Amino acid sequence: MAPTPPPPSRTVILSWLTALGDRPPAADRLDSMELAWLVHQVEQVYGVELADADLERITTVDAAVAVLAEVLTTHV
């Protein structure tokens, strides 16, 4: 079994989001499409389904980093 990768950094999350298209470099807030894409990436890479309560907390890139670090370290 392959080891679980570490939670995504801000850089990784931003690279996932730029895959959707043009994203202003200074943008921190996530729109609904970006959140859906981020959830998809987390499910694909980590095999973890995020709870609704966790999704509600992910409104910015920094919040995504914090929430994913919290959630993914408890699922390892």
Per residue, the 3-state secondary structure of 4-47, as one string, reads CCCCCCHHHHHHHHHCCCCCCCCCCECCHHHHHHHHHHHHHHHC
Q: Is 18 within the bounds of a domain? A: no
Q: Is the pLDDT of residue 2 over 70?
A: no
Does residue 16 belong to any structural domain of this protein? Answer: no
Q: Quickly state the pLDDT bin for 1 (edges 50, 70, 90).
A: low
By residue range, what is the domain housing residue 49?
A: 29-76
6 found inside a domain: no
Number of C-beta neighbours around residue 29 at 10 A = 9
In a domain, 65, yes or no: yes
Q: Quick one: the chain helix, strand, coil %, rounded to 5?
A: 60, 5, 40
When pLDDT is averaged across residues 21-28 and rounded to a whole number, the result is 80
